[in-house]
Structure 1
């Protein structure tokens, strides 16, 4: 497979002569199968060739002798951070080909009581049955709590925590929060951890009752949203001249007409599209139940065009993929948010937080303005409670004006 990138016999022989020689063709095949452009693949192969020479000088006879110390020693030779990151990516491909694993180089978050954190993680998943994303947020909060306790009361066990300690901890958390929503979330996370301490037997009493309630007025603000004219302008501004543009157009239309959450869109698979009935199946959403959403003709046409003409040929089942090699599903919400933000900026629209939820808010606002029943809007968005959907009623000012009571003392 090296012949796909190099044609000179001396270069091919040199690449196949070192400790990684027997694996070089498999590595090259991996770059080809994952969709790397030839120029990018040759850059990584050059880094791998340098790593191969380093292994030979270090006395490494074959690829199975590679360890983390050798990798770190090689990366320390990089002249700048950019070269280090590129070399690290290349080595990760080598290790995945050799033994199906990789050695990651990052600083692990400090762990002040790993056993407590492990038990807390099992408690969140097995006892409370929370989703992985929710558990990650609560675990991060627990690490912060334990770090503060270790800094303030070094050497003391958690069982020594008192009500005064909890009040001090609340003050620290509130001072580190910038909005009423984050303050409310911080004390809620603390309350969860303290209840775990009581459940686990780490505390003799339920210390969560000493955590004050922080008000969070969910209905006090209007959700960020786009006018429907701006939504149409964004969609019309997406060209159809390349596969990524076809993907973005289908993605934006699907978000704007169905109100899917970021996670729901990223998890959407080809089997979830019911072409004959014009529906999309949303599986295991935030409310842990499946739902059907209608597929408009415009979104269906854009989706079909993307799948037939723009979507890369791959074994992945997800509908929307990253077109920049290696081709893979869109797994991170930040990637989807970057796509939406880029399309907004091309229309000179700037929002601090631009992502799938911006189009979701825009759709809900438009439906309320069209006097759609609030229950219908809640079902489309997948809300369990109508109270969650009620925030969009505030934007329907003309309708609200018709039900306003006359001012006392006025002629009407």
Structure 2
């Protein structure tokens, strides 16, 4: 089993899967292997694993470890990918994970802020750099990791685009800089960005970088100041960006490209409907 896992991870690297993806798969598979070793009191062999082993493992994750449905479904996805690789390499006779039923997930609408709430949040942030990053997140839909890893060259003022290099899934994409955002970024670059040897666009003089934890801490402080009970993070601003575009009747295909989603099914979760929209809908009859 361990040899098969090692080969699988090398394969993922050879097809340019992101480091984050490979790390996630590695953790899932090594944890599954440890479970099997404890269950059978010895080494696990990939060609001896059954669908019952996988079903019992998923039950263990639920009852003993308290994993949420989404986490258990992620583990099943990992195992399906792993056994698909093993089948192609003739390490097993069939993909035993395919016969295991998918975990039913409750579809939840993503938490997001209205445009007015975003304005209130921005006004409540005292730290100028965090305030700018929050504006960037809301006006571009960038993931926080993508935002803090932008280099000076990634922000193209001549073409007015942000170049996201190796985003989630190792995909690059271009995001236009809006008319509202352009002067904010230019003002920061010309007058407020500290002189440092760092190549990162958003940086502090002390460290030459800006961490996602630091940004989220600044957002959390502003939320406390506003007296809000809802949880707001940098990722909520990405949801807010997408939700606002949907509200403005931008097509899902365009939103998909801006967010860097591989599937329209993922983008579709942002088609929120609030009570005002529902009221207008019934009033139209």
The reply on whether 1:164 has 2:52 as its aligned counterpart is: yes
* Cα distance, 1:374–1:205 mapped onto 2, change above 3 Å: closer
Q: Normalization by structure 2: what TM-score? A: 0.83
- Cα distance in 2 for partners of 1:167, 1:214 equals 11
8 Å Cα contact 2:141-2:258 kept in structure 1: yes
Q: Normalization by structure 1: what TM-score? A: 0.60
- Cα distance in 2 for partners of 1:253, 1:371 equals 21
- Of 142, 145, 161 in structure 2, the residue corresponding to residue 263 of structure 1 is 145
* Cα distance, 1:182–1:162 mapped onto 2, change above 3 Å: closer
- Of 330, 342, 345 in structure 1, the residue corresponding to residue 224 of structure 2 is 345
Q: Partner residue of 1:272?
A: 154
The reply on whether 1:303 has 2:185 as its aligned counterpart is: yes
3-state DSSP of counterpart to 1:328: coil
The Cα shift of 1:210 comes to 3.4
- Cα distance in 1 for partners of 2:103, 2:78 equals 12
8 Å Cα contact 2:243-2:270 kept in structure 1: yes
8 Å Cα contact 2:62-2:72 kept in structure 1: yes
3-state DSSP of counterpart to 1:364: helix
* Cα distance, 1:189–1:364 mapped onto 2, change above 3 Å: same
- Of 201, 216, 233 in structure 1, the residue corresponding to residue 120 of structure 2 is 233
* Cα distance, 1:383–1:199 mapped onto 2, change above 3 Å: closer
Q: Partner residue of 2:10?
A: 122
- Cα distance in 2 for partners of 1:398, 1:375 equals 25
Residues 238-295 of structure 1: CA deviation (Å, up to 9, x unaligned): 34xxxxx221121111111111112221221112223244332223333654433232
8 Å Cα contact 1:198-1:206 kept in structure 2: yes
Q: Partner residue of 1:181?
A: 70
Unaligned runs of 5+ in 1: 1-112, 240-244, 407-411
8 Å Cα contact 1:280-1:294 kept in structure 2: yes
The Cα shift of 1:134 comes to 0.8
Unaligned runs of 5+ in 2: none
Q: Partner residue of 1:391?
A: 269
Q: Partner residue of 1:150?
A: 37
Question: Higher Cα Rg: structure 1 or 2?
Answer: 1
- Of 210, 213, 217 in structure 1, the residue corresponding to residue 102 of structure 2 is 213
* Cα distance, 1:335–1:343 mapped onto 2, change above 3 Å: same
* Cα distance, 1:282–1:157 mapped onto 2, change above 3 Å: closer
3-state DSSP of counterpart to 1:329: coil
The Cα shift of 1:118 comes to 2.7
* Cα distance, 1:190–1:379 mapped onto 2, change above 3 Å: closer
Q: Partner residue of 2:236?
A: 358
3-state DSSP of counterpart to 2:194: coil
Q: Across the two proteins, how many residue pairs are aligned to each other?
A: 283
8 Å Cα contact 1:173-1:187 kept in structure 2: no
- Cα distance in 1 for partners of 2:191, 2:280 equals 49
- Cα distance in 2 for partners of 1:381, 1:209 equals 30
* Cα distance, 1:153–1:246 mapped onto 2, change above 3 Å: same
- Cα distance in 2 for partners of 1:198, 1:187 equals 16
- Cα distance in 2 for partners of 1:338, 1:266 equals 14
Q: Partner residue of 2:129?
A: 247
The Cα shift of 1:172 comes to 1.6
8 Å Cα contact 2:58-2:72 kept in structure 1: no
- Cα distance in 2 for partners of 1:157, 1:399 equals 55
* Cα distance, 1:136–1:173 mapped onto 2, change above 3 Å: same
